[in-house]
C-alpha cells in the first residue's frame, strides 16, 4: 500500500542526515557558562555553612514566636527552608565590593551578610535600636555599610534597583557585582524583563537570582507561569540561565562560583534559578491551605538543607555533641537578640519627623 | 526551666482565636518545626509550630475552646533535663489594670470654638522641626553681565556644569544622547561627556527609573530624563516607593540623590494622554523635592541645586517654555535655593500665586489689571515641595487677597493647597475668599477651540482678581 519513497532507496543515506536524527541538541551558537560543580567544602567550611544556616533557622523561628506574642507586627515573611540559598550564594561574594538586594523576605540575606541579629530583631519589634530605627520594619531594612541595599516591599522593584547597583559598579569600575534576589512570583513582573534587557545590553555585572520556592503567596508556579522553567526566562535577552538545587548548599555555592566567574569576566548578567521551598506560609498570616501538610513534611524529611549538611558533617567525623554545642551557641545568640529587641525602647516621638529628607530647605 | 507556650497572634489584627485541635498530647517529645496545634482565627485555620525542643508537660487549654486571648498560656513544655511530670501550670497573672486615661467628654452642642484666641496656635500647629533661617537668592554682584538664554539652553548648561564638576553625575533617558534629546535639551552633552555618561535607554520607563534609582542608592548622581512626565506614570512606583521613601525607611542611612526631569503639563494639541500637570501628584509625597521653574535663570539655578541635593528631586519643565528666552546672570556658578518662592512683580492690591508656565499667565493678567488700576503682586512658587508658604502669607498680609493661577486641574491641586494654607494660617488677613483659576476639570481635548477653552488664561485671572477686589 505505502508508496516507496521517491528518492532511490539503494543509495545509503548520507552520513550527516543519519547523524542528525540521533545527535544531541545543536550546540548553542554563543558561549554559555559551564555546568557548575558542587562546591568542595573543607570540614571548616561545612561547619561554617551549618552554623550560618542554623542561625537563620533559629532566628526565623524566634521571629515567628515573637510575632505570635504580638511583639512583631504587620507583615513578616520567614525564610525557613530556604537557608541554603542565601548562605550558598553570599558565602561566595566579596563583602568589600559586591552588593546584595532582595525583596521583602529579607532576614536571611541580612544574616548571611553578617549583619548583627540584634539590630535586625530590634527592627522587627519596631525599636529605636533597630537597623532602620524602627521605621522600616521586616520588609524595609538596609545596611549600606554591609552593601546590603534592602529589603524592598514592592514585588519586583529590587530587580530594577539591583540593575542600577550593577550599573553603578560598572560606572565606577570598582570590580563589584550585584546579586539581585527575587521570587518565582516576581519573575512575572514586567520590570524584571525591562531590567534584563538593559543589563545584557550594557553588560552589567549582576547575578539575577530567582528563589523559586514554588508558591507566589498561594499561587503555584504552574498556575502562574507559561514558562515554568524559570532559568530560561533570560534566554530572549541572551542571558544564560542555570537551574540549581537550592536545598543543597554545596550545589548553590558551586553555582555561585560559576556565575561570578561569568560576570567578573565581563560577560554580562547571568540568571540562576534556585529550586527551594518555604516551610511556613507566605507571611505569618498565611495559613498555607494551598498545599498539603504531607507535601511540606516530605520536603522537611527528605530535603532539609540543614539536615543535609549535618549528615555530611557526621560523615566527616564531627560528633553529635559538637553540633549540639553549635546549636546551643546559636540559640544563645538568637535569644540574646530577642531579649535585646524586646527590651530596647521604642523610637522617640521626635523620630517621626527625622529622615524624611536628608537636607533642610 | 519549663517553657510556657502562649496563644499566638497569627495575623496583624488577631486578638483571640479558637484552639481547634491539639496535634500533640502530654508526654510527647517535640522539636522545633513540629506542628503542635491548629488555631482558628476569624479568617483562617493556622498551624502552630514548636520553636523549642522538649516534652509536652501540660496542656492547659483543651481543644475546642473558643475565644482564647492572645498571650494566654496554653501549654507547658519541659526542657531537656527536666522531669515533665513536675511541671506546674503558671500562676494566674494579675489582671492588667484597666486603661486609666479618661477620654475627653464630648458634650453635644458644645463644639469647641476653633476660631480664635489662645487655642489658635494649637489648631494650626505643625509639629514639624523648628524653622531654620530662610534662604534667599544669592545677590548678583553689580556689573554682572546678563546673557539672553532659552530655557532649553539653561537646562543643558546646568547639567553640563554639574557634570564637569562631579564625575558621579550622568544623564540617562530616551533619545538623550545620539538624537540630542527629543526636545534637544541634552544637545551637545554626548559630545562633551561621551556615551558612558550620556546614555540612551530603550523605551522602558519603569525599568530605567528603577535602574537610575538603584544607581543613586549605589552612590551615583543620576539625572533621569523622561521624554515627558506623562510617560513617567509607568515609573511612578520607583519615584515614590523606591526613591522617596528609602531614606526614611532606612532610618537615614540609605540616600537616593537622583533628579527625575522632563517636560510636564499641556503642550500644544497633543490630546489628553500627553497633556497633564503632575505637580500636585508629586508634591503630595513626603520624601520628594518638587521643582517647577518658570524662566531660564530659575531653570538653571534650580536644576544645579537639584543635582547637588542629597534628596530625590522631581524637576518639572514645560515644553512650551523651552524656546522662550530670558536674561541669565553670567556667573560661574548660578545656584538658587530650593524651597524659596520669588516675587516676580511687586504689587499692593492682590496677590497672584503661580508656578511654571502659569507665571506667564499671571504676569500677563497683572499687566491687564494695571490698566484697570489694580496693582497685582505675582509670586512664582518655583518649588512645590517644600512649599514656601511664608512668602505667600507675607504677601497676603500686604494685599489681603489671593488668586492662585495653575495650568492644571482644580481638584486636589497646588491651588487647593495654597487656599488651605491661606485659610488655616492667614484667615485674619483675608478680605475675600481665595480663588483658584485653573484648567477646566476635563481631560484635555484635541480640537483647537476646545483646548483653548480648557486651559487657564489671563482673562480668567483678571476676572478672578476683580472679583476678590470687589470690582
Write the pLDDT tens digit of every residue in B219-238: 999 999 999 999 999 999 99
Residues B249 and B378 in one domain: no
Point out the residue among A144, A161, A163 whose CB comes nearest to the CB of B242: A161
Q: How confident is the model at residue B70 (pLDDT cuts 50, 70, 90)?
A: confident
Q: How confident is the model at residue B135 (pLDDT cuts 50, 70, 90)?
A: confident
Q: Residue B27's domain is classified under what CATH number?
A: 2.40.50.100
Burial B448-457 (b: 16+ CB within 10 A, else e): eeebeebbbb
Give ∠ CA A83-A341-B57 in degrees, rounded to 5. Answer: 75
Query: What pLDDT sits at residue B109?
Result: 46
- The C-alpha atoms of residue B270 and residue B128 are separated, in whole angstroms, by 41
Sign of CA dihedral A234, A240, A246, A252: negative
| Whether pLDDT at A228 is above 80 | yes
Rounded to a whole number, what is the distance in Å from the CA of B201 to chain A's nearest CA?
Answer: 8
Residues B307 and B247 in one domain: yes
How confident is the model over A1-8, as a mean pLDDT?
47
| Whether pLDDT at A309 is above 90 | yes
Query: What pLDDT sits at residue B45?
Result: 82
Number of other residues whose CB lies within 10 A of the CB of residue A341: 26
Query: What pLDDT sits at residue A17?
Result: 47
What's the fold here for domain A36-114+143-319?
A: Rossmann fold (3.40.50)
Point out the residue among A75, A135, A359 whose CB comes nearest to the CB of B251: A135
How confident is the model over B80-86, as a mean pLDDT?
75
Q: Could you tell me if residue B433 is inside a domain? A: yes
How confident is the model over A93-108, as a mean pLDDT?
97
Q: How confident is the model at residue B433 (pLDDT cuts 50, 70, 90)?
A: very high
pLDDT digits (tens, 9 = 90+) for B338-372: 999 999 999 999 999 999 999 999 999 999 999 99
Residues B374 and B292 in one domain: no
| Whether pLDDT at B298 is above 70 | yes
Point out the residue among B45, B208, B222 whose CB comes nearest to the CB of A198: B208
Cα B361 from chain centroid?
Answer: 26
Annotated active-site residue in B162, B225, B238, B274 = B274
Collect all residues of chain B within an 8 Å Cβ-Cβ radius of residue A68: 6-10, 48, 70
Residues B365 and B458 in one domain: yes
Rounded to a whole number, what is the distance in Å from the CA of A209 to chain B's nearest CA?
Answer: 17
Residues B257 and B389 in one domain: no
Chain A residue closest in CA terms to B243: A161
pLDDT digits (tens, 9 = 90+) for A7-40: 444 444 444 444 445 667 666 678 999 999 999 9
Q: How confident is the model at residue B81 (pLDDT cuts 50, 70, 90)?
A: confident
Cross-chain Cβ contact B218/A163 below 8 Å: no
Q: Tell me how far apart the terminal alpha carbons of chain B are, to the nearest angstrom.
A: 86
Burial B419-447 (b: 16+ CB within 10 A, else e): bebbeebbeebeeeebbbbbbeeeebbee
Is the CB of residue A274 less than 8 Å away from at least one CB of chain B? no
Decide which of B303, B329, B355 is a domain's last residue: B329
Residues B356 and B248 in one domain: no
Point out the residue among B44, B128, B249 whose CB comes nearest to the CB of A287: B44
How confident is the model over B450-461, as a mean pLDDT?
98
Chain B residue closest in CA terms to A133: B251
B319 assigned to active site: no
How confident is the model over A149-165, as a mean pLDDT?
97
Mean pLDDT of all residues belonging to chain A: 93
Number of domains in chain B: 3
Residues B198 and B251 in one domain: yes
DSSP state of B469: T
Residues B372 and B282 in one domain: no
What is the ipTM score, two decimals? 0.90
Residues B159 and B283 in one domain: yes
Q: Could you tell me if residue B127 is inside a domain? A: no
Collect all residues of chain A within an 8 Å Cβ-Cβ radius of residue B212: 164
pLDDT digits (tens, 9 = 90+) for B84-121: 777 777 765 555 444 444 444 544 444 444 444 445 44
Decide which of B43, B61, B86 is a domain's last residue: B86
| Whether pLDDT at B241 is above 50 | yes
B205 assigned to active site: yes
Cross-chain Cβ contact B45/A165 below 8 Å: no
Collect all residues of chain A within an 8 Å Cβ-Cβ radius of residue B34: none
Cross-chain Cβ contact B238/A162 below 8 Å: no
Number of other residues whose CB lies within 10 A of the CB of residue B16: 15
Chain A residue closest in CA terms to B341: A361
| Whether pLDDT at B130 is above 60 | no
Domain ranges of chain A: 36-114+143-319
Share of chain A above pLDDT 90, in %: 89
Point out the residue among B32, B71, B213 whose CB comes nearest to the CB of A161: B213
A216 has which bridge partners?
A219
Cα B91 from chain centroid?
Answer: 52
Cross-chain Cβ contact A62/B51 below 8 Å: yes
Query: What pLDDT sits at residue B85?
Result: 77
Share of chain A above pLDDT 70, in %: 92
Query: What pLDDT sits at residue B144?
Result: 94
How confident is the model over A297-302, as a mean pLDDT?
94
Rounded to a whole number, what is the distance in Å from the CA of A255 to chain B's nearest CA?
Answer: 25
Residues B172 and B263 in one domain: yes
Give the phi and the psi of residue B25 in degrees, each rounded to 5.
Answer: -130, 170
The SS3 of residue A150 is strand
- The C-alpha atoms of residue B262 and residue B321 are separated, in whole angstroms, by 12
Query: What pLDDT sits at residue A87?
Result: 98
pLDDT digits (tens, 9 = 90+) for B387-402: 999 999 999 999 999 9
Query: What pLDDT sits at residue B114?
Result: 46
Residues B314 and B176 in one domain: yes
Q: By CB neighbour count within 10 A (0-12 exposed, 13-18 middle, 19+ buried), where does B28 fall?
A: middle
Chain A residue closest in CA terms to B32: A61
Cross-chain Cβ contact A201/B217 below 8 Å: no
Residues B248 and B367 in one domain: no
| Whether pLDDT at B17 is above 70 | yes
How confident is the model over A62-77, as a mean pLDDT?
94
Give the phi and the psi of residue A207 in degrees, each rounded to 5.
Answer: -110, 115
| Whether pLDDT at A3 is above 50 | no
Domain span at residue B74 reads: 3-86
Cross-chain Cβ contact B220/A172 below 8 Å: yes
How confident is the model over A42-67, as a mean pLDDT?
97
Number of other residues whose CB lies within 10 A of the CB of residue A82: 27
* Kind plus residue range of the DSSP H or E element containing A337: helix A320-343
| Whether pLDDT at B71 is above 70 | yes
Rounded to a whole number, what is the distance in Å from the CA of B198 to chain A's nearest CA?
Answer: 12
Interface of A with B in 84-113 (CB under 8 A): 99, 101
Q: Could you tell me if residue B126 is inside a domain? A: no
Give ∠ CA A91-A94-A100 in degrees, rounded to 5. Answer: 75
Amino acid at each position: 500500500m505505502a508508496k516507496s519513497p521517491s528518492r532511490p532507496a539503494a543509495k545509503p543515506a548520507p552520513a550527516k542526515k543519519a547523524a542528525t536524527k540521533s545527535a544531541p541538541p545543536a550546540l548553542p551558537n554563543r558561549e554559555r557558562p559551564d555546568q557548575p560543580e558542587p562546591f568542595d567544602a573543607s570540614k571548616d567550611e561545612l561547619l561554617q555553612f551549618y552554623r550560618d544556616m542554623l542561625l537563620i533557622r533559629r532566628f526565623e523561628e524566634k521571629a515567628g514566636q515573637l510575632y505570635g506574642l504580638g511583639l512583631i507586627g504587620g507583615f513578616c515573611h520567614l525564610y525557613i527552608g530556604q537557608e541554603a540559598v542565601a548562605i550558598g550564594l553570599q558565602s561566595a561574594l566579596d563583602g568589600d565590593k559586591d552588593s546584595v538586594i532582595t525583596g521583602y523576605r529579607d532576614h536571611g540575606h541580612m544574616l548571611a551578610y553578617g549583619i548583627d541579629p540584634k539590630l535586625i530583631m530590634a527592627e522587627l519589634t519596631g525599636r529605636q535600636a533597630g537597623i532602620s530605627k524602627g521605621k522600616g520594619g521586616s520588609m524595609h531594612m538596609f545596611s549600606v555599610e554591609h552593601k546590603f541595599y534592602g529589603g524592598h516591599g514592592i514585588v519586583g522593584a529590587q530587580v530594577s534597583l539591583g540593575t542600577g547597583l550593577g550599573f553603578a559598579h560598572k560606572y565606577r569600575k570598582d570590580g563589584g557585582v550585584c546579586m539581585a534576589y527575587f521570587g518565582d512570583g516576581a519573575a512575572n513582573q514586567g520590570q524584571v524583563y525591562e531590567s534584563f534587557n538593559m543589563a545584557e545590553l550594557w553588560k552589567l555585572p549582576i547575578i539575577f537570582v530567582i528563589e523559586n520556592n514554588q508558591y507566589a503567596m498561594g499561587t503555584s508556579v504552574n498556575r502562574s507561569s507559561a514558562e515554568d522553567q524559570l532559568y530560561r526566562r533570560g534566554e530572549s535577552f541572551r542571558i544564560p540561565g542555570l537551574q540549581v538545587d537550592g536545598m543543597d548548599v554545596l550545589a548553590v555555592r558551586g553555582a555561585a562560583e560559576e556565575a561570578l566567574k561569568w560576570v567578573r569576566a565581563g560577560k554580562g548578567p547571568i540568571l540562576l534559578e534556585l529550586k527551594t521551598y518555604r516551610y511556613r506560609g507566605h507571611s505569618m498570616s498565611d495559613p498555607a491551605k494551598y498545599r498539603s501538610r504531607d507535601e511540606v513534611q516530605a520536603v522537611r524529611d527528605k530535603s532539609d538543607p540543614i539536615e543535609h549538611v549535618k549528615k555530611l558533617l557526621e560523615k566527616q567525623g564531627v560528633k553529635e555533641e559538637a553540633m549540639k554545642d553549635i546549636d546551643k551557641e546559636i540559640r544563645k545568640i538568637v535569644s540574646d537578640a530577642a531579649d535585646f529587641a524586646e527590651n530596647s525602647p521604642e523610637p522617640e516621638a521626635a523620630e517621626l519627623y527625622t529622615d524624611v529628607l536628608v537636607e533642610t530647605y | 526551666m519549663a517553657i510556657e507556650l502562649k496563644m499566638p497572634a497569627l495575623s496583624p489584627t488577631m486578638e483571640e482565636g479558637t484552639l481547634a485541635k491539639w496535634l500533640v498530647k502530654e508526654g510527647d517529645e517535640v522539636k522545633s518545626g513540629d506542628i503542635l496545634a491548629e488555631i482558628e482565627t476569624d479568617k483562617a485555620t493556622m498551624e502552630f509550630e514548636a520553636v523549642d525542643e522538649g516534652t509536652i508537660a501540660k496542656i492547659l487549654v483543651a481543644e475546642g475552646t473558643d475565644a482564647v486571648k492572645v498571650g494566654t498560656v496554653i501549654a507547658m513544655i519541659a526542657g531537656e533535663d527536666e522531669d515533665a511530670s513536675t511541671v506546674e501550670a503558671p500562676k494566674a497573672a494579675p489582671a492588667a489594670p484597666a486603661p486609666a486615661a479618661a477620654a475627653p467628654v464630648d458634650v453635644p452642642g458644645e463644639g469647641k470654638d476653633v476660631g480664635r484666641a489662645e487655642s489658635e496656635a494649637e489648631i494650626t500647629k505643625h509639629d514639624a522641626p523648628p524653622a531654620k533661617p530662610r534662604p534667599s537668592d544669592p545677590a548678583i554682584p553689580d556689573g554682572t553681565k546678563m546673557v539672553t538664554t532659552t530655557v532649553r539652553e539653561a537646562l543643558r548648561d546646568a547639567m553640563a556644569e554639574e557634570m564637569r564638576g562631579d564625575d558621579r553625575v550622568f544623564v540617562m533617558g530616551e533619545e538623550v544622547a545620539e538624537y540630542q534629546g527629543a526636545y534637544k535639551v541634552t544637545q551637545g552633552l554626548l559630545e562633551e561627556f561621551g556615551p558612558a555618561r550620556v546614555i540612551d535607554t530603550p523605551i522602558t520607563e519603569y525599568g530605567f527609573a528603577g535602574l537610575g534609582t538603584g544607581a543613586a542608592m549605589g552612590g551615583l548622581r543620576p539625572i533621569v530624563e523622561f521624554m515627558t512626565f506623562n510617560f513617567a506614570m509607568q515609573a511612578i512606583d520607583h519615584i515614590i516607593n523606591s526613591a522617596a521613601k528609602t531614606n526614611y525607611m532606612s532610618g537615614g542611612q540609605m540616600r537616593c540623590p537622583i533628579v527625575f526631569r522632563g517636560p510636564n503639563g499641556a503642550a500644544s494639541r497633543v490630546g489628553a494622554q500627553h497633556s497633564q500637570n503632575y505637580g500636585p501628584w508629586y508634591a503630595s509625597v513626603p520624601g520628594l523635592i518638587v521643582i517647577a521653574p518658570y524662566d531660564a535663570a530659575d531653570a538653571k539655578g534650580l536644576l544645579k541645586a537639584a543635582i547637588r541635593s542629597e534628596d530625590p528631586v522631581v524637576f518639572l519643565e514645560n515644553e512650551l517654555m523651552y524656546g522662550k528666552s530670558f536674561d541669565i546672570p553670567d556667573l560661574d556658578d548660578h545656584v538658587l535655593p530650593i524651597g524659596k518662592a520669588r516675587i516676580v512683580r511687586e504689587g499692593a492690591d492682590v496677590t497672584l500665586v503661580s508656578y511654571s508656565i502659569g507665571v506667564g499667565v499671571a504676569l500677563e493678567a497683572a499687566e491687564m489689571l494695571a490698566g484697570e488700576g489694580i496693582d497685582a503682586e505675582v509670586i512664582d512658587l518655583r518649588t512645590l515641595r517644600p512649599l514656601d508658604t511664608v512668602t505667600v502669607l507675607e504677601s497676603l498680609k500686604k494685599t489681603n487677597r489671593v488668586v492662585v493661577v495653575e495650568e492644571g486641574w482644580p481638584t486636589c491641586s497646588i491651588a487647593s493647597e495654597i487656599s488651605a494654607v491661606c485659610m488655616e494660617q492667614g484667615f485674619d488677613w483675608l478680605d475675600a475668599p481665595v480663588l483658584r483659576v485653573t484648567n477646566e476639570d476635563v481631560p484635555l481635548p484635541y480640537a483647537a477651540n476646545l483646548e483653548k477653552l480648557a486651559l487657564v488664561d489671563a482673562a480668567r485671572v483678571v476676572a478672578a482678581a476683580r472679583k476678590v477686589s470687589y470690582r
